[in-house]
Amino acid sequence: MTGLHTLLPRPVVVRPAPGEHVVTSVAAATDVSTVALDPVAVPHPGGYRLSISPTGVEAVAHDPAGAFHATQTLRQLLGPDAFRAADIHRGPWTLPCGVVEDHPRFGWRGVLLDVARHFMPKAGVLRVLDLLAAHKLNVLHLHLTDDQGWRVEVPAFPRLTEVGAVRAGTWVGRQPDGDPTHDNRPHGGFYTTADLREIVAYARDRHITVVPEIDVPGHCQAAIAAYPELGVTGEPVEVWHGWGVSEDVLSPAESTVDFFRTVLDHVVDIFDSPVVCLGGDEVPTTQWHASAAAKRRAVELGLSSVDGLHGWFIAVLAQHLATHGRRVLGWDEILDVGDLPPGAVIASWRGEAAGVRAALAGHDVVMCPEQQVYLDHRQADHPDEPIPVGFVRTLADVHAYEPVPAELPAHAHHRVLGAQAQLWTEYLDNPRRVDYAAFPRLAAFAEVVWSPGEPRDQAEFLDRVATHHLPRLDALGVEYRPLAGPRPWQLRPGVPGRPRPVR
């Protein structure tokens, strides 16, 4: 048993009381069927109320998601052993007495997992879903396609996975731009349709929505390697071994659009998310400017320049998603390339300014600024930090993040759906490295998007993590970064990174 003050994320209201309640097992204490649903008594979606006395537990929730969240809170209160895969607990299981009243601050409490740069097998994704659920996070954004790999089976186009899902080798760390060398170690993998249906169902049982991303019209070199006719030049290319932004982009031919309509038909048949991400970020226009066919196509479409093909791609595929009743999610570059499709959601990643601009224009926004919530970025400005890339973002930095920008007027606050932590995997080549980058910072992020937004007590939070939450992560088998720095086996001596200035 642990006290009510140990909970993470921090609940809205906690009222401790004397005494404890003895339960027979973890399964009995966390049985979601014992939680009553009463949206009048608990008015907030995803919310719940627990009343624990020596004689029993009264659990009430607004909806099934709230009931699930209530059971996650009860699991924390039982102590770290409740998170183990088998019961090794000695003595009775007990719960502290008191009242917890709780509900989420934001409806979008997300994590992006990049499985394109480094593939994560299905079992690893299911484990990530369990970890998200334990932290009351409710969106998994799966980045399924990129220059370095195509990870979703599409029966109509088998070469996407036969060719596009494997590369000949990989940069280890961040090599100089244009370096043609790699480690000569083939890397690959993909999810079958059945795998993805299983992932979606597993997430649904945990009240998590899986948002798929099919990135267009840039970040498509793996698709072009599989089907060269999708590219501007039509010339063969390889699945890319390096990191950065590839010049290879999609041809604006109608046949290319039809190809991706078919891909999206398959994607929406698998994923039940109301939102599908089309990417739209980092789209070089060099090949379009050099292509007579692309210039002719731009004229046919009534565009003033081939630069307009970027926005046209997003708009036409967003229209197709709309026929399936889905909204488009795009990275914030799509704000700058033409009129946004109706219902478009903007992922503000280059900072907060784009999110503010989108919200003021009446668009929903998910805040994910790289300066704040890119968890692949380094955790300390220290030479021992493995593969140091990006900005320094400590545990305390993440906990201090405020998703609603200070510059956003109050009348537009409702446009901020929530926020999303990002786990890009160029430098996270296995689940152990993902654990290291994500935790315990993801616990801080979970509190940011769940708990009330008033000023946070950093000292209390850091003590709560060290004393109470790290033991839970230990029980779950999470190989997090210790607060004092990496363990010897977590170091990557000699592997180059690309740090950015400390902010």
CATH 3.20.20.80, the chain: domain bounds: 108-499
- According to CATH, the topology of domain 4-102 is Chitobiase; domain 2 (3.30.379)
- According to CATH, the topology of domain 108-499 is TIM Barrel (3.20.20)
Supply the pTM of this predicted model: 0.98
Q: What is the mean pLDDT of residues 451-459?
A: 91
The pLDDT-based confidence of 1 (bands split at 50, 70, 90) is low
What strand order describes the sheet that includes 56-61?
13-23, 93-102, 48-53, 56-61, 36-37
Q: Is residue 414 annotated as a catalytic residue, yes or no?
A: no
Q: What is the mean pLDDT of residues 43-66?
A: 98
Q: Is residue 310 annotated as a catalytic residue, yes or no?
A: no
C-alpha 436, offset from chain centre = 16
Question: What mean pLDDT, rounded, does the chain reach?
Answer: 97
The pLDDT of residue 412 is 98
User: pLDDT tens digits for 320-373?
Assistant: 999 999 999 999 999 999 888 899 999 999 999 999 999 999 999 999 999 999
Residue for token digits 């969240």?
Answer: 69
User: pLDDT tens digits for 402-448?
Assistant: 999 999 999 999 999 999 999 999 999 999 999 999 999 999 999 99
Question: Exactly one of 146, 332, 333, 385 is catalytic; which is it?
Answer: 146
pLDDT surpassing 60 at residue 304: yes
User: pLDDT tens digits for 210-222?
Assistant: 999 999 999 999 9
E strands, 62-146, are 93-102, 108-114, 139-143, 145-146
CATH 3.30.379.10, the chain: domain bounds: 4-102
Question: Exactly one of 21, 62, 219, 363 is catalytic; which is it?
Answer: 219
Local structure of residue 54 (DSSP, 8 states): T
Neighbours of 317 (CB within 10 A): 23
pLDDT surpassing 60 at residue 455: yes
The pLDDT-based confidence of 502 (bands split at 50, 70, 90) is low
Q: Is residue 238 annotated as a catalytic residue, yes or no?
A: no
d(CA 244, CA 242): 7
